[in-house]
Structures are given as structure tokens and as C-alpha cells.
């Protein structure tokens, strides 16, 4: 207790007192993320709001002095328990480091602080005719720092890639409080090891990102979204393969199963066809002159693949309505039970139908509801399971189902996370898809960068 009090005193002296929260209620508010853990067993010792890089360095040096954990937090929307303070320590909140430092039309780059909202960066880039493609479903609140930490993807990954493909330089505070640069402001870089890839997806366990330089691309001239409905899951997956085989490259190939369609329509009425077994959300973009051609070609393929109905946007309002419905799936699911969990298992696309049907069978076996959405263009599925954590029996069934879903994913050549990360909630299962040799090298990397184990300790493995 004395050490904790001394730590808080030093933090208040080093920073400003109003940026240091230590009351029970304040700490409780920052003890959870969107992972919906069953109970809050551990609270952070203190919550610190930082406003610049120097303050981050000061906090890290104090954490090292007191051998206390530092857990970075953006918007707290991650769903794997990556920013929970399992062992107490300092929650480092970046909501006040939220500036776009530079937006260059000439270089097609953006330099930002970690608290910048993804959706805000997209809007500012759009004003210059530029485009930042990564688009996690919660992009209205999700931060750049959080998306870098978790290697976020989103619906447009199929065509444009994920966060890792747009990070060209990071400014990182190390566990010793030093500054590390991982890249450069150039689009290409073959100078030494690719440290960008090492830090993207490291969940704050290797260093603390305080600035990021991101690649932008030209904004597509036009875009349109279609919703195609099918009477079987297999038909919907076959349609995805058929589109790709015809060398058409949509920006998005997303999926919703019947439960997801029905749940979303009740939550956000968008004229979805609720009797259909599955739907594809397909976005095309590019030059205005090519949009009509792409749409006609895709509609022809969809009809050939037994699509039973097709809707498409004809204006911006209709476009936003369809996408709002798709992005509402988790919120809609949360209306069914007090808690909802989501996952991001991913398999080679040829095994996608087997994964979807297998997850459904597992949930039926354990008498659990499940709404499935996903980015089927890259083989990613998000099973969203509404449950009541207060129901002991239901919770036990849920844990068994999750384990079997991971086993199924591994058996189909997949991995446990395509874009959410591992955090605390999946670390017990990581051995299913990564062998011990690789895990040992990861542990060595962690020890090299963080010998005192103060940076988000015991996450991932």
C-alpha cells in the first residue's frame, strides 16, 4: 500500500493532479474493456491521462522504478481483454493525445497521435481526396493506437489490406523510457528489420506507440453497395468464390447469417429480408464509369449462384443505411441478453462454409444463440454469442463451446484471430495454432524489449 501511495504521489507531482485518477470509482470505470469478462477481479492502481510523449516517458520511468505494470488504453473497445489491469498497475489513457499532426496530399501520408479516432482520420483524409482504408466496425470510436495494438482489419481488408499494411513509421516509448523509431516517412523501406510489423499487433507488450505515420491512397471516385440473399450458407460462399474467379475485386465481401439478419432488423429496421438463410454485403468502388459495369457483372454472377434476392444502393442515404445495418450487428446482439461476446476466427476461404456450419452446430449442441457476420472475402467469421454471465450453467456451456470453436478453426487450417488480437481471453488457446518453438521466440522477443515485464504483462501468452 505504501508503494502504491508513493507511486500515485510521484505521478501527481510529475504530471498534473487532474490527469491522475486514483479514487475507487474512477479506477473501476477503467477496469474493463468490451470483452465482457464475467467479473472485475482486479482494478488498476491508478489511471493516468497523458498529453505528450515526454509525459509517457515519465510514466514509464516511474513504472520501472516501482516495478508496476503499464497498460495502454484507447477507447477500450477491444474484445479480448487486452487492456484489462489483471495485476494492478497504471492504466495509460491516450484520449488527450488525439491530434492529427500532419496530413500530406503530396506524400499521401498522415502523422497522428494514438488517440486519433479512425473515422475522424478518414474524414480529414477525404477532404484532400485521400483515403485511409482500414475500417473496424467501431471506427466511430476506435482509435489509431488501439487499431495498431490489435492489428485491426475491417470490411475492406479483402481489397485494401488491414492496419499493418498502412503503418510506415512508429514512434515508440520503450520499457526503459527511450524513444524508438520503427521505420521512415517513405512508402518503401528495405533498410534493416521490419520493426513496424513487430509492433503492429503486439498489444502494447513491447513498447508504447506515441505517434504513427500512415500511408494513404487516392480516394475512389464512386462506390456502391449490394445485398444479396441466399437460401443456403453454401450458396453464399460459392457466390464469393465465383465473383473472385471472374477477376472482379470488390472492396468488401461481407456475410450475415439468418440470425444476424433478423436480430439487426429488429434493432435497426433497414428492410432486410429476414426469411433468408444468409446474405452477402458487397461493395464496389473505383471510377464512376466502372461502377455500373461492376454491378451488372456481380449481379449476373449472383443470379447464377442462386441468389434469391438482391438489393443495392442508389444514393448515399441508401448506402449508409445498408452499412449501418451491417455495423449494428454487435449492438443488436447485445439487446438479446445482458452480455454478448464476439470472436474473429479465420480460415482459408475454401473451408469457410464448413466453419460457419460447424460453429452453428456447436452452439446448437450447447443450446446457445449465435449471430454470425464476417468478412468472407478473407475467410473471417465473427460469431456473436449473447449470454447471461449470471447464469452459471449457461456460462459453462459457453466456455465449452468457445473451446470447440477454436478446435474446429485449427482443424480447418485457421487461426484464432484475424483482427481482434489474443489479449487475456484467448491466450490459453494460442498453442492450438502456434507451435512451441514460435511461442518461445515470441517470449524471447518480449523479454528483450521488456526485461522487467511491465508493459501489459501476461497478455497474448
Task: Tell me the CA distances in angstroms from 333 to 33, 38, 85, 292, 398, one per residue in order.
Answer: 17, 17, 27, 35, 16
pLDDT tier at 148, thresholds 50, 70, 90: very high
Q: Mean pLDDT over residues 362-378, rounded?
A: 95
Which three three-digit cell numbers place residue 113? 497521435
In this prediction, residue 1 carries a pLDDT of: 66
d(C-alpha 49, C-alpha 19), whole Å: 5
**Is residue 36's pLDDT more than 70?**
no
Bridge-based pairing state of the strands 309-312 and 252-257: unpaired
Rounded Cα–Cα distance for residues 283 and 407 (Å): 32
User: Quick one: pLDDT band at residue 35, thresholds 50, 70, 90?
Assistant: confident
Distance between CA 129 and CA 34 in Å, rounded?
33
All domains in the chain, ordered by first residue: 2-93 (3.30.43.10), 100-218 (3.30.465.10), 222-330 (3.30.70.3450), 336-423 (3.30.70.2740)
Cβ(205)–Cβ(172) under 8 Å? no
Query: Is the whole-model pTM more than 0.75?
Result: yes
CA 395, 399, 400, 404 dihedral sign is positive
Q: How confident is the model at residue 139 (pLDDT cuts 50, 70, 90)?
A: confident
Smallest Cα–Cα separation from 206: which of 244, 163, 151, 165? Answer: 151
- Beta-ladder partners of 253: 282
Can you give the pLDDT at residue 136? 86
pLDDT, one tens digit per residue, over 63-122 is 999 999 999 999 999 899 999 999 999 999 999 999 999 999 999 999 999 999 999 999
Phi, psi of 245 (to 5 degrees): -65, -25
Confidence of residue 431 (pLDDT cuts 50, 70, 90): very high
Cell numbers linked to 120: 475522424
Beta-carbon contacts of residue 68 (< 8 Å; ≥ 6 apart): 7, 45, 88, 89, 90, 454
pLDDT at 47: 98
pLDDT band per the 50, 70, 90 thresholds, residue 152: very high
Which pLDDT does position 34 carry in this prediction? 85
Could you tell me if 55 and 11 are in contact, meaning their C-beta atoms sit under 8 angstroms apart?
no
Q: For residue 311, is pLDDT > 70? A: yes
DSSP state of 220: P
Helix (H), strand (E) at residue 185: none
* Residue 32 to residue 404: CA distance in whole angstroms: 26
pLDDT at 410 over 70: yes
**Chain segment 258-274, per-residue pLDDT in tens:** 999 999 999 999 999 99
| Residue 157, C-alpha cell as written in the block | 481488408
Here the cell at position 66 is: 516501482
C-alpha–C-alpha distance, residues 67 and 452, integer Å = 7
pLDDT at site 91: 98
Enumerate the β-bridge partners of residue 173.
179, 208
Beta strand 222-230 with 309-312 is: antiparallel
* Residue 232: CB atoms within 10 Å: 15
Question: What is the chain's mean pLDDT, rounded?
Answer: 95
Mean pLDDT of all residues in 17-35: 92
For CA atoms 265, 268, 269, 270, the dihedral sign is negative
- Please tell me the total number of residues recorded for the chain in this structure: 461
Amino acid at each position: 500500500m505504501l508503494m502504491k501511495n508513493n507511486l500515485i504521489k510521484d505521478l501527481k507531482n510529475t504530471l498534473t493532479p487532474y490527469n491522475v485518477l486514483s479514487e475507487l470509482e474512477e479506477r473501476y470505470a477503467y477496469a474493463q474493456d468490451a470483452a465482457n469478462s464475467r467479473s472485475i477481479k482486479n482494478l488498476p492502481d491508478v489511471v493516468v491521462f497523458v498529453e505528450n510523449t515526454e509525459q509517457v516517458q515519465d510514466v514509464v520511468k516511474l513504472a520501472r522504478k516501482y516495478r508496476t505494470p503499464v497498460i495502454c488504453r484507447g477507447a477500450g473497445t477491444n474484445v479480448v481483454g487486452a487492456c484489462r489491469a489483471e495485476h494492478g498497475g497504471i492504466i495509460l489513457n491516450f484520449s488527450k493525445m488525439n491530434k492529427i499532426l500532419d496530413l500530406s496530399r503530396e506524400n499521401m501520408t498522415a502523422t497522428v497521435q494514438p488517440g486519433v479516432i479512425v473515422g475522424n482520420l478518414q474524414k480529414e483524409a477525404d477532404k484532400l481526396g485521400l483515403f485511409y482504408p482500414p475500417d473496424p466496425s467501431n471506427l466511430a470510436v476506435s482509435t489509431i493506437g488501439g487499431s495498431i495494438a490489435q492489428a485491426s482489419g475491417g470490411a475492406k481488408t479483402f481489397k485494401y489490406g488491414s492496419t499493418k499494411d498502412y503503418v510506415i513509421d512508429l514512434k515508440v516509448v520503450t520499457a526503459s523510457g527511450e524513444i524508438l523509431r520503427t521505420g521512415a516517412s517513405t512508402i518503401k523501406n528495405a533498410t534493416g528489420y521490419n520493426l513496424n510489423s513487430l509492433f503492429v499487433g503486439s498489444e502494447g507488450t513491447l513498447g508504447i506507440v506515441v505517434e504513427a505515420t500512415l500511408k494513404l491512397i487516392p480516394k475512389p471516385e464512386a462506390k456502391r453497395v449490394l445485398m444479396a440473399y441466399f437460401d443456403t450458407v453454401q450458396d453464399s460462399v460459392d457466390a464469393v468464390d465465383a465473383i473472385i474467379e471472374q477477376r472482379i475485386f470488390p472492396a468488401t465481401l461481407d456475410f450475415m447469417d439468418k440470425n444476424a439478419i433478423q436480430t439487426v432488423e429488429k434493432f435497426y429496421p433497414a428492410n432486410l429480408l429476414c426469411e433468408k438463410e444468409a446474405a452477402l454485403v458487397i461493395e464496389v468502388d473505383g471510377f464512376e464509369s466502372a461502377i455500373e459495369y461492376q454491378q451488372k457483372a456481380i449481379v449476373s454472377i449472383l443470379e447464377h449462384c442462386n441468389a434469391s434476392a438482391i438489393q443495392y444502393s442508389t444514393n448515399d442515404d441508401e448506402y449508409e443505411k445498408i452499412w449501418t445495418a451491417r455495423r449494428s450487428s454487435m449492438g443488436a446482439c447485445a439487446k438479446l441478453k445482458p452480455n454478448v461476446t464476439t470472436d474473429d476466427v479465420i480460415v482459408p476461404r475454401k473451408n469457410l462454409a464448413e466453419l460457419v456450419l460447424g460453429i452453428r452446430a456447436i452452439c446448437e449442441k450447447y443450446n446457445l444463440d449465435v449471430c454470425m457476420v464476417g468478412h468472407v472475402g478473407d475467410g473471417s467469421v465473427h460469431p456473436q454469442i449473447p449470454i447471461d454471465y449470471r447464469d452459471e450453467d449457461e456460462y459453462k456451456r459457453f466456455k465449452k463451446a468457445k473451446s470447440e470453436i477454436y478446435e474446429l478453426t485449427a482443424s480447418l487450417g485457421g487461426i484464432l484471430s484475424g483482427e481482434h488480437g489474443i489479449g487475456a481471453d484467448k491466450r490459453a488457446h494460442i498453442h492450438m495454432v502456434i507451435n512451441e518453438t514460435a511461442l518461445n521466440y515470441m517470449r524471447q522477443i518480449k523479454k528483450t524489449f521488456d526485461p522487467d515485464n511491465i508493459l501489459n504483462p501476461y497478455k497474448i501468452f
